[in-house]
């Protein structure tokens, strides 16, 4: 899937995609869509701190958070993908970046203050 196809999915579908990728890489076998979503949500929760450290202190996040303007979603996803591509996370960085952009970089970067 390319960025535009992934970006057309809703958050639950992206969580499911994450769960499917994890299940395939760990050879867990087939399961229900809800279980894939749960696996995806658990994965995000597990790696949230690492994602925050990689994304939130950088120039891209600072620009996104401080400039009140409309961002091109595909370019934003590509920028976040570049940041997290260096992490060894076992899931496609494009999928993770798309989810983070859909749910809001603000939510990721400010969630520790709430």
Tell me the pLDDT tens digit for each residue of 66-95.
776 667 788 889 989 998 998 878 889 999
User: Measuring CA to CA, which residue among 45, 67, 15 is closest to residue 111?
Assistant: 45
The answer to whether the beta carbons of residues 36 and 19 sit under 8 Å apart is: yes
User: Measuring CA to CA, which residue among 34, 7, 9, 10 is closest to residue 20?
Assistant: 34
Range of the domain at 61: 3-113
Helix axis angle, 93-103 to 33-55, nearest 10° = 80
Query: 15 is written with which tokens?
Result: 């969580």
Chain segment 9-27, per-residue pLDDT in tens:
999 999 999 999 988 877 7
Q: What CA–CA distance (Å, rounded) separates 43 from 62? A: 25
Q: How much is the pTM?
A: 0.83
Q: Tell me, what's the pLDDT at 112?
A: 53
Which 3 state secondary structure label does DSSP give 101? helix
Q: What angle do CA 55, 61, 64 make, to 5 degrees?
A: 155
Q: Tell me, what's the pLDDT at 114?
A: 42
Say how many domains are in the chain. 1
């Amino acid at each position: 899937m390319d960025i535009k196809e992934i970006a057309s999915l809703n958050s639950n579908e992206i969580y499911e995609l994450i769960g499917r990728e994890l299940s395939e890489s760990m050879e867990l076998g087939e399961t229900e869509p809800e279980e894939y979503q749960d696996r995806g949500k658990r994965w995000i929760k597990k790696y949230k701190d690492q994602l925050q450290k990689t994304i939130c202190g950088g120039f891209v996040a600072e620009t996104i958070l401080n400039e009140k303007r409309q961002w091109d979603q595909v370019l934003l996803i590509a920028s976040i993908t570049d940041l997290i591509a260096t992490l060894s996370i076992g899931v496609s960085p494009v999928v993770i970046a798309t989810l983070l952009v859909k749910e809001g970089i603000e939510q990721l970067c400010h969630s520790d203050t709430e």
